[in-house]
């Protein structure tokens, strides 16, 4: 299996409805765009409709962290790159970058952790073994990528002592 590192199949266009009073994309719509870009990434990871129907399991977001690097405007084309950072028996930790597709600049980043959930109980559940094996192969390739400084970044007005 060829593993793209990073995964880069999601695209979007900044919709006029996403523009705020400052004339650029509103902060809330960055999350919408990243969430939409997560769909093909998760499908590629193996969290498919077929898996949900067969196992009764799905994913729920647990935590997310957005950073904003440069503004984007109505009509701007976007492309997304995603990578698996880690996973355990119930959770998936991943990272995405949003780029302006025409001009190439980094517009925003998104780091998130999702859990696998048994939809009959709506409680976390173990990721199916067949999927865990696939995730392990993907993780091995994605760990070869440089780790972005935004991963695990703490929000503060000043860096912690000994930090950045």
Full set of structural domains in the chain with CATH: 8-142 (3.10.129.10)
pLDDT at 93 over 80: yes
For residue 124, the surrounding DSSP H or E stretch is: strand 123-124
- pLDDT bucket at 158, cuts 50 / 70 / 90: confident
Please report how the helices 27-45 and 129-142 are oriented relative to each other, as an axis angle in degrees rounded to 10. 110
Tokens at 115, concatenated: 């859990």
Global pTM? 0.93
Q: What angle do CA 14, 15, 18 make, to 5 degrees?
A: 95
Res 154: pLDDT: 87
Q: Are 71 and 155 in contact (CB under 8 A)?
A: no
Alpha-helix residue ranges (DSSP H) falling in 18-154: 27-45, 49-55, 129-142
Q: What angle do CA 74, 29, 101 make, to 5 degrees?
A: 50
- pLDDT bucket at 164, cuts 50 / 70 / 90: low
φ, ψ of residue 46 to 5 degrees: the values are 125, 0
Tokens at 24, concatenated: 């650029």
């Amino acid at each position: 299996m060829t593993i793209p590192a990073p995964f880069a199949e999601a695209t979007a266009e900044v919709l006029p409805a996403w523009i705020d009073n400052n004339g650029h994309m509103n902060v809330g719509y960055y999350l919408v765009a990243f969430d939409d870009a997560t769909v093909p990434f998760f499908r590629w990871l193996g969290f498919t409709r077929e898996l949900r129907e067969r196992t009764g399991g799905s994913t729920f977001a647990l935590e997310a962290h957005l950073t904003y690097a440069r503004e984007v405007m109505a009509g701007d084309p976007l492309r997304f790159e995603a990578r698996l950072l880690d996973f355990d028996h119930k959770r998936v930790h991943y990272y995405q970058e949003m780029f302006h597709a025409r001009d190439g600049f980094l517009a925003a980043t998104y780091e998130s952790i999702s859990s696998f959930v048994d939809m009959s109980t709506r409680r976390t559940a173990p990721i199916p073994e067949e999927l865990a094996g696939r995730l392990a192969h993907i993780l091995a390739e994605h760990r070869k990528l440089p780790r972005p400084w935004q991963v695990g970044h703490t929000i503060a007005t000043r860096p912690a002592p000994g930090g950045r």
